[in-house]
Amino acid sequence: MRHGRRFGYSGAMRSGACIALLALAGCASGDSSGTDKLANVLFLGSANPPPAPAATTEIDCPRVEIQPGTSSIQLFERGKDGDAHSLRYQASFGNLARECSDQGSEIGVRIGLTGRVIVGPKGTTGNSLPLPIRVALVDTDSNPKISRLFNISAAIPSGQTNVDFQLIEDLGSVPKSETGFSRWRILVGFDSDATPERVNARAEAAAARRARAAQAPVRPVVQRRPPQPRQSAPSGNGPNLPPIYPRGAPAQQQPSSGPNLPPIQP
């Protein structure tokens, strides 16, 4: 399997297609002339839908972009990444759109996108291809405020070599900003770390680590004796030791007779 660059957050972004949705009321940032028909076909399946109610207030909506390096994803036969003859599937994005709605103290954000899956030389039809799509709302400093992973499936009919897919979902809501959302961005990309192959590979690696740990010999636990306190030498004379005199001092004369001895006659 070959993927694009891992989905992340970067300060330098490549501008994607931002389509103002006529059918989704509330997105009023930028000029939408010339794109309404495409948006209607994209999301409503008709170039002449019923007119949508006019937005009463203008809402500052973040622009939507594709995270560089995550605009497409390729799946190859195992062990043959990068070999064009071993390509199974390739998925890529088409058009992007977003809608913002006023929810009082917050702004609600909705995302819409389309894309296409192409069956490669080693691909099969009559099945579904899982597609992990990451959508994140980042602020002016590229700090993520909302990040959601959408796992969708593209059904590939038998005998068909390509199929379109789409995603229309509520991303969430954020508190209103005093500086507006004109410099915020909605980043879209394929999350290569969330593909079934990557998830299964991590699960297999974790299971192998647990198996190795279970087979490893158990080392006996050595009980160490706690350190014993050291005994200090006596600071004075012991009971059976002779008295200690300073160096150079005359030794005291022992009495020739004790109190319980008879006097010595001259």
Three-state DSSP class for 111? strand
53 pLDDT more than 80:
no
**Number of domains present in the structure of the chain:** 1
127 domain-assigned: yes
pLDDT (mean) for 42-66: 64
Q: What is the pLDDT of residue 243?
A: 63
Rounded to whole angstroms, the Cα distance separating 231 from 19 reads 86
pLDDT digits (tens, 9 = 90+) for 168-182: 999 999 998 888 888
pLDDT digits (tens, 9 = 90+) for 105-164: 999 999 999 999 999 999 999 999 999 999 999 999 989 999 999 999 999 999 999 999
CA distances from 120 to 48, 91, 138, 157, 160 (A): 36, 10, 35, 14, 11
233 domain-assigned: no
Assigned token pair, 167: 């995603």
Tokens 């099945």: give the residue: 127
Range of the domain at 9: 2-207
CA distances from 252 to 75, 96, 153, 171, 263 (A): 105, 110, 108, 102, 21
255 domain-assigned: no
Please state, rounded to an integer, the average pLDDT across all residues of the chain. 74
261 pLDDT more than 70:
no
239 domain-assigned: no
111 domain-assigned: yes
12 domain-assigned: yes
Q: What is the pLDDT of residue 10?
A: 36
225 domain-assigned: no
Burial class (CB in 10 A: 0-12, 13-18, 19+), 194: middle
